[in-house]
Amino acid sequence: MHGRLREALSVTRASLADGNPGEAATRELLLYCHGFCTALDGHHRGEDSTLFPAIAAAHPELRPVLRVLEQDHSMIAHLLGSLRAAVDRAAPTDELDNHLEGIAAIMESHFRYEERQLLTVLETLELAAVPQEVLGPI
Protein backbone atom coordinates (compact mmCIF):
# COMPACT_ATOMS: atom_id res chain seq x y z
CA MET A 1 0.00 0.00 0.00
CA HIS A 2 2.78 2.44 0.85
CA GLY A 3 4.34 1.81 -2.56
CA ARG A 4 1.06 2.69 -4.28
CA LEU A 5 0.72 5.88 -2.23
CA ARG A 6 4.32 6.81 -3.04
CA GLU A 7 3.53 6.32 -6.73
CA ALA A 8 0.37 8.43 -6.46
CA LEU A 9 2.42 11.26 -4.95
CA SER A 10 5.03 10.88 -7.68
CA VAL A 11 2.36 11.13 -10.39
CA THR A 12 0.89 14.20 -8.67
CA ARG A 13 4.29 15.91 -8.49
CA ALA A 14 5.12 14.99 -12.11
CA SER A 15 1.80 16.44 -13.22
CA LEU A 16 2.64 19.70 -11.49
CA ALA A 17 6.17 19.78 -12.93
CA ASP A 18 5.00 18.99 -16.48
CA GLY A 19 1.72 20.89 -16.45
CA ASN A 20 1.07 23.70 -18.86
CA PRO A 21 -0.17 26.93 -17.35
CA GLY A 22 -3.84 27.48 -17.62
CA GLU A 23 -7.17 25.93 -16.86
CA ALA A 24 -6.41 22.45 -18.29
CA ALA A 25 -3.30 22.00 -16.13
CA THR A 26 -5.19 23.21 -13.07
CA ARG A 27 -7.98 20.70 -13.69
CA GLU A 28 -5.47 17.86 -14.12
CA LEU A 29 -3.61 18.81 -10.95
CA LEU A 30 -6.90 19.09 -9.07
CA LEU A 31 -7.84 15.56 -10.14
CA TYR A 32 -4.46 14.08 -9.16
CA CYS A 33 -4.23 15.94 -5.85
CA HIS A 34 -7.75 15.11 -4.75
CA GLY A 35 -7.23 11.47 -5.70
CA PHE A 36 -3.94 11.31 -3.81
CA CYS A 37 -5.34 13.14 -0.77
CA THR A 38 -8.38 10.86 -0.64
CA ALA A 39 -6.24 7.72 -0.92
CA LEU A 40 -3.73 8.77 1.75
CA ASP A 41 -6.41 10.03 4.15
CA GLY A 42 -8.46 6.86 3.67
CA HIS A 43 -5.40 4.70 4.29
CA HIS A 44 -4.69 6.45 7.57
CA ARG A 45 -8.32 6.37 8.71
CA GLY A 46 -8.38 2.61 8.05
CA GLU A 47 -5.21 2.10 10.05
CA ASP A 48 -6.50 4.19 12.96
CA SER A 49 -9.94 2.57 13.11
CA THR A 50 -9.18 -1.07 12.29
CA LEU A 51 -5.52 -2.03 12.00
CA PHE A 52 -3.97 -0.22 14.95
CA PRO A 53 -6.57 -1.41 17.49
CA ALA A 54 -5.95 -4.99 16.32
CA ILE A 55 -2.19 -4.53 16.69
CA ALA A 56 -2.61 -2.94 20.14
CA ALA A 57 -4.74 -5.87 21.28
CA ALA A 58 -2.28 -8.48 20.03
CA HIS A 59 0.91 -6.53 20.90
CA PRO A 60 0.29 -4.06 23.75
CA GLU A 61 4.01 -3.27 23.87
CA LEU A 62 3.56 -1.45 20.52
CA ARG A 63 1.02 1.08 21.84
CA PRO A 64 3.65 3.87 22.10
CA VAL A 65 4.61 3.27 18.45
CA LEU A 66 0.95 3.35 17.43
CA ARG A 67 0.43 6.66 19.26
CA VAL A 68 3.34 8.21 17.32
CA LEU A 69 1.89 6.93 14.05
CA GLU A 70 -1.57 8.29 14.92
CA GLN A 71 -0.03 11.69 15.69
CA ASP A 72 1.66 11.57 12.28
CA HIS A 73 -1.72 10.79 10.71
CA SER A 74 -3.17 13.90 12.30
CA MET A 75 -0.30 16.06 11.06
CA ILE A 76 -0.53 14.62 7.55
CA ALA A 77 -4.31 15.21 7.52
CA HIS A 78 -3.65 18.87 8.35
CA LEU A 79 -1.07 19.12 5.52
CA LEU A 80 -3.49 17.46 3.09
CA GLY A 81 -6.18 19.97 4.07
CA SER A 82 -3.80 22.82 3.30
CA LEU A 83 -2.95 21.25 -0.06
CA ARG A 84 -6.63 20.80 -0.92
CA ALA A 85 -7.31 24.45 -0.08
CA ALA A 86 -4.37 25.58 -2.22
CA VAL A 87 -5.52 23.45 -5.16
CA ASP A 88 -9.13 24.64 -4.80
CA ARG A 89 -8.06 28.27 -5.02
CA ALA A 90 -5.68 27.55 -7.94
CA ALA A 91 -2.57 28.58 -6.01
CA PRO A 92 0.62 29.26 -7.98
CA THR A 93 2.70 26.27 -9.04
CA ASP A 94 5.54 27.01 -6.62
CA GLU A 95 3.11 27.10 -3.68
CA LEU A 96 1.53 23.80 -4.71
CA ASP A 97 4.97 22.26 -5.08
CA ASN A 98 5.89 23.46 -1.57
CA HIS A 99 2.78 21.73 -0.19
CA LEU A 100 3.64 18.52 -2.03
CA GLU A 101 7.27 18.69 -0.90
CA GLY A 102 6.20 18.95 2.75
CA ILE A 103 3.72 16.11 2.43
CA ALA A 104 6.32 13.95 0.66
CA ALA A 105 8.89 14.50 3.41
CA ILE A 106 6.52 13.75 6.29
CA MET A 107 4.85 10.87 4.46
CA GLU A 108 8.14 9.15 3.65
CA SER A 109 9.44 9.55 7.19
CA HIS A 110 6.14 8.19 8.53
CA PHE A 111 6.08 5.24 6.14
CA ARG A 112 9.66 4.25 6.91
CA TYR A 113 9.08 4.40 10.66
CA GLU A 114 5.88 2.38 10.35
CA GLU A 115 7.57 -0.19 8.14
CA ARG A 116 10.52 -0.56 10.53
CA GLN A 117 8.32 -0.86 13.60
CA LEU A 118 5.39 -2.91 12.32
CA LEU A 119 6.41 -4.97 9.30
CA THR A 120 7.15 -8.15 11.28
CA VAL A 121 3.91 -7.81 13.21
CA LEU A 122 1.90 -7.19 10.05
CA GLU A 123 3.29 -10.33 8.43
CA THR A 124 1.87 -12.45 11.26
CA LEU A 125 -1.27 -10.52 12.27
CA GLU A 126 -4.54 -12.22 11.45
CA LEU A 127 -7.17 -9.62 10.79
CA ALA A 128 -10.75 -10.41 9.83
CA ALA A 129 -11.54 -7.26 7.89
CA VAL A 130 -12.16 -6.14 4.33
CA PRO A 131 -8.82 -4.92 2.91
CA GLN A 132 -10.28 -1.55 1.83
CA GLU A 133 -11.40 -0.90 5.42
CA VAL A 134 -7.84 -1.40 6.62
CA LEU A 135 -5.77 -0.06 3.73
CA GLY A 136 -7.97 2.64 2.27
CA PRO A 137 -9.44 3.19 -1.18
CA ILE A 138 -6.34 2.74 -3.34
Q: Helix axis angle, 23-46 relative to 2-18, nearest 10°?
A: 160
121 with 62: CB under 8 angstroms? yes
Range 92-107 average pLDDT = 86
pLDDT of residue 13: 72
Task: Select the more confidently predicted residue: 35 or 89.
Answer: 89
Rounded Cα gap, residues 100 and 116, in angstroms = 24
What share of the chain in percent tops pLDDT 70? 77
Would you say 83 and 96 are in contact if contact means Cβ atoms under 8 Å apart?
A: yes
pLDDT tens for residues 28-75? 666 666 677 777 788 788 888 888 898 999 899 999 999 999 999 899
* Mean pLDDT, range 77-97, rounded to an integer: 84
